[in-house]
Structure 1
């Protein structure tokens, strides 16, 4: 009998704890909303230097259009000018296609592959059809503008960090 009172008290407390700790079935992870912003069709607006560089003895500031500089790069400049009308399609089914030139700015992914957001939705993770990962930081994304970090290996010149600026179609 002397164990009955503590046992009853423990049972009552257990019931209150279970009722009070009822799990919320609607615990879906809150997303950043970036997926919906990225999904869609994007036109290339520009391709700019992500850092200041020295070219031909001149300092070229960060933010300068590499498309505008392309004639100074000789034959390598054609790799950039052919991208100026690119269209990037990030489909809701996580597939992606690029209409235009990708040899210099997306050599790993190429024209087709898959996409998803990674690392707290800060990285646009592209994958080639062969499954090779091609991650790119998203510097900014809004409903109508997206800026993505890329590195281009300019043949016979250098590797240069760039920002790909896209505009929603």
Structure 2
């Protein structure tokens, strides 16, 4: 009887886990971000430079007015904040090494993708603690604005430790960009 009970409990746990994964998958599919058409005209560019942790990329980051207003008011990025990062390859020399300018910065090549972060209430609820990032969601788009449907778990894990900076690497730059 004891083994039978353990088997039933085990099956219930497996079925509960499968149901939770199915439900989380539905939430993830529903959570696809919209490409912010016209962001270069309506958002403010606040950072341009070498991309942290990616030795062969350059990044340019834009923020919407909600993020800018929050950063200006109290250094916080409220719900409705959207950040857009244009990701560029770098130029390589004949040996395949990343070319740098005379001031030691990477030489930008063509844009390869556009990353979008958006913050809305409750968007962390479906994730385990190690992937919670202050209700931010991430998505990656082609340069033509098509969703690339990439798994953004690595982005969440990388941003997770940044609770002191609103879960973004560039908060100080956003605050400094204010007039």
* The two structures share one fold, judged by TM-score above 0.5: no
Q: Which has the higher contact order (CA 8 A, sep 6+)?
A: 1
Bigger Rg over Cα: 1
Q: Which has the higher strand share?
A: 1
Q: Normalising by the residue count of structure 1, what TM-score does the alignment of the two structures yield?
A: 0.31
